[in-house]
């Protein structure tokens, strides 16, 4: 029996990007494309509604459904929101495909990713090759637990994970609370997922024949306090989670704080801004800094 697959895309003031991303999924053996309106803005919602309307003629056979929570939930909670919605439907889908709204799916993406599950029944999660301006991330990333470095090859203190840019996983991998840890607002939730699956002995593979184009660029101003805060906070949260033995936690936090402090000093000097230092200083606080309001493009 042919598996039922749906896609999940989050939109934040990016209607045109979301249109392009959604267009690349049409004709990809998907039953449904869920788009979460994560903007919390009437103008952004209207722009999203307009572009989705423009896709209606080309979306024959594919249901495009826009969901909204009325505010920006962040990435982890936003994805979980959509998954929970689908799981509560009378007939939940068999597989979920996550795709960034600034990414474009290559031909036969879904078919080639599903093939990995058919090849090996022990596979829990599949990612495609990410073709971008950073070739080091094409086949996933190696995260250094102690220094928070994102590296392109294995080594001491590192573990492998795939970015949340594009992932395919079966419904059995989703729990009642979703798939991502909602203590991450943005940045780090995909690293945490990779760590949890690795710790559980679950297999993650890259579908070599499946391609996604994702030119890495700022989804938010990378000189802003918002970015610096959530980036630092994500790394610190990972310090509390990526341990083999609890006794590691103080060492993970100490080395990571030192690495983040060096990073903040370099960035503050480079950009002539106190935002990196301030962001790190308050990153131990709860996630109270919200996404800055942007104007729809």
Render pLDDT for 48-71 as a digit per residue (tens, 0 to 9).
999 999 987 777 789 999 999 889
pLDDT at residue 292, as a whole number? 47
**271 contacts 262 by C-beta, under 8 angstroms:** no
Render pLDDT for 281-296 as a digit per residue (tens, 0 to 9).
999 886 544 444 444 4
DSSP H helices, the chain, are 15-23, 42-55, 75-87, 109-119, 189-199, 225-241, 249-271, 275-281
Cβ partners under 8 Å of residue 29, min gap 6: 2, 5, 110, 111, 114
pLDDT at residue 102, as a whole number? 94
pLDDT at residue 40, as a whole number? 86
Cβ partners under 8 Å of residue 267, min gap 6: 228, 273, 276
What is the sign of the dihedral through the CA atoms of 50, 227, 192 and 155?
positive
Helical packing angle, 189-199 and 225-241, nearest 10°: 10
pLDDT at residue 220, as a whole number? 65
Q: How many percent of the chain have pLDDT more than 70?
A: 94
The mean pLDDT of the chain is: 92
**216 contacts 130 by C-beta, under 8 angstroms:** no
Render pLDDT for 6-16 as a digit per residue (tens, 0 to 9).
999 999 999 99
What is the sign of the dihedral through the CA atoms of 129, 164, 186 and 13?
positive
pTM: 0.93
Render pLDDT for 144-164 as a digit per residue (tens, 0 to 9).
999 999 999 999 999 999 999
Q: How confident is the model at residue 136 (pLDDT cuts 50, 70, 90)?
A: confident
**150 contacts 141 by C-beta, under 8 angstroms:** yes
Render pLDDT for 166-196 as a digit per residue (tens, 0 to 9).
999 999 999 999 999 999 998 999 999 999 9
pLDDT at residue 219, as a whole number? 60
Q: How many percent of the chain have pLDDT more than 90?
A: 83
Q: Which of 115-124, 216-225, 278-287 has the highest mean pLDDT?
A: 115-124
Nearest CA-CA partner of 141 in 54, 216, 88: 216
Strands 166-170 and 141-144: unpaired
Q: What is the dihedral of CA 161, 222, 287, 97, to 10 degrees?
A: -40
pLDDT at residue 296, as a whole number? 40
Which two three-digit tokens encode residue 292? 């800055």
Cβ partners under 8 Å of residue 252, min gap 6: 145, 146, 239, 240, 242, 243
Render pLDDT for 223-264 as a digit per residue (tens, 0 to 9).
899 899 999 999 999 999 999 999 999 999 999 999 999 999
Q: How confident is the model at residue 216 (pLDDT cuts 50, 70, 90)?
A: low
pLDDT at residue 297, as a whole number? 37
Q: How confident is the model at residue 218 (pLDDT cuts 50, 70, 90)?
A: low
What totals of helices (H) and strands (E) does the chain contain, helices first?
A: 8, 11
Q: Higher-confidence residue: 40 or 94?
A: 94
pLDDT at residue 57, as a whole number? 76
Q: Tell me the average pLDDT across 83-91.
A: 94
Q: 161 — phi, psi (to 5°)?
A: -150, 165
- Element spanning 104, H or E: strand 104-105
């Amino acid at each position: 029996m042919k598996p039922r697959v749906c896609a999940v895309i989050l939109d934040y003031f990016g209607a045109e990007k979301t249109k392009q991303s959604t267009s690349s999924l049409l004709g990809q053996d998907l039953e449904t494309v869920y788009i979460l309106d994560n903007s919390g803005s009437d103008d952004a919602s209207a722009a999203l509604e307009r572009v989705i309307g423009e896709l209606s003629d080309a979306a024959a056979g594919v249901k495009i459904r826009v969901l909204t929570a009325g505010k920006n939930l962040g990435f982890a909670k936003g994805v979980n929101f959509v998954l929970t919605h689908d799981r509560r439907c009378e007939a939940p889908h068999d597989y979920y495909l996550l795709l960034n709204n600034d990414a474009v799916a290559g031909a036969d993406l879904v078919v080639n990713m599903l093939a990995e599950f058919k090849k090996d029944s022990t596979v829990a999660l599949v990612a495609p090759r990410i073709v971008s301006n950073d070739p080091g991330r094409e086949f996933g990333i190696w995260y250094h637990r102690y220094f928070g470095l994102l590296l392109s090859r294995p080594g001491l203190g590192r573990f492998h994970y795939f970015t949340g840019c594009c992932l395919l996983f079966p419904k059995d991998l989703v729990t009642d609370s979703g798939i991502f840890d909602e203590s991450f607002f943005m940045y780090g939730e995909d690293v945490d997922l990779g760590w949890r699956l690795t710790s559980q002995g679950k297999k993650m593979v890259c579908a070599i024949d499946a391609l996604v184009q994702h030119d890495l660029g700022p989804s938010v101003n990378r000189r802003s306090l918002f970015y610096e805060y959530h980036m630092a906070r994500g790394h610190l949260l990972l310090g509390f989670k990526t341990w083999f033995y609890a006794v590691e936690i103080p060492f993970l936090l100490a080395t990571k704080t030192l690495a983040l402090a060096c990073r903040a000093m370099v960035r503050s000097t480079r950009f002539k801004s106190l935002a990196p230092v301030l962001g790190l200083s308050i990153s131990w606080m709860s996630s109270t800094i919200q996404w800055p309001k942007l104007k729809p493009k």
